[in-house]
Structure 1
Amino acid sequence: MSTEPATGGDATAQIDVTESAAEQALSLIEDEGLDTDISGLRLFVQQGGCAGLSYGMRFDDEPDEDDTIYEHHGLRVFVDPASMKYIEGSVLDFESGLQAEGFHVENPNVVSECGCGESFRT
């Protein structure tokens, strides 16, 4: 298992999390009754959507052995090696507006997205 501090490591391999996303995720983790010192948000890529790939997120009790772990604003983010090649350099944000509210991944590796923005291609 490897760990990267919020400000360290290779910038292209970094996954950043905005303060608003971290606060929102930590609140949800606590609502689930999970320990925020051990548990975290798993960010992953899966096959699906009209553009070929889509993001997935879930809360995990603990990281897997081969995960990279990032810590931002008290939130632990777990990323598996297969997903890392698609999302390295990304920023996880939480957006709130008139149309929608939720987590959003700003991914510099995306070359195209579907019309609804739910899936992407690198």
Structure 2
Amino acid sequence: MAIKLTESAAREIKTIIEQQELDAETICLRVGVKGGGCSGFSYLLDLTEQSRENDEQFKEGGITVVCDPKSYLYLNGTTIDFKDEVMGRGFVFNNPNATSSCGCGSSFSA
């Protein structure tokens, strides 16, 4: 399995890369988790030029996605989407490993 990006998520990430005038050839999307949030873990997204030797690495929609091994245990099989709706705008995580998630969708428990 892998970490997947929907077309709308990949498009939004490319837009952010352009707006921040970053080099699309060298930039990666770092995906991870950290302890905290209302359900136990919070999702992390970051644009970086740094990938680490032991990172899991995937190419999705023209975006290089990297994830550290510990976070990957929780994120394997996750699909990241981007929603732009009346009630809110942002990235949405569809994580099959989450046993529950908070109402805002930015944290989960496993």
Instruction: State TM-score, norm by structure 2.
Output: 0.93
Shift of 1:37: 1.5
Give the residue type in structure 1 aligned to 2:65. Answer: V
Moved over 3 A (4+): none
Q: Residue 43 of structure 1: CA displacement?
A: 0.7
Q: Quote how far apart the aligned CAs of 1:45 are.
A: 0.4
TM-superposed deviation, 1:57 = 0.6
Moved more, 92-101 or 33-42: 33-42
Equivalent residue for 2:78? Answer: 90
Q: Match for residue 59 of structure 1?
A: 47
Give the 3-state SS of the residue equivalent to 2:80 in structure 1: strand
Find the aligned partners of 1:28 and 1:117 in 2 and give their Cα distance: 21
Secondary structure of 1:104's counterpart equals: strand
Rounded to whole Å, the distance in 1 between the matches of 2:93 and 2:106 is 10
Q: Does structure 1 residue 47 correspond to structure 2 residue 47?
A: no
Structure 1's unaligned 5+ residue stretches are 1-12
Cα deviations by residue, 1:59-106 (Å, 9 ceiling, x for unpaired) = 101312211111111111111101000010000110111100111110
Aligned length: 110
**8 Å contact kept, 2:93–2:105:** no
Per the TM alignment, residue 114 of structure 1 is displaced from its structure 2 partner at its CA by 2.4
Amino acid in the other structure paired with 1:59: L
Checking the alignment, whether the CA contact within 8 Å between 1:40 and 1:61 is kept in structure 2 is: yes
SS at structure 2 position matched to 1:117: coil
Structure 2 residues without counterparts, runs of 5 or longer: none
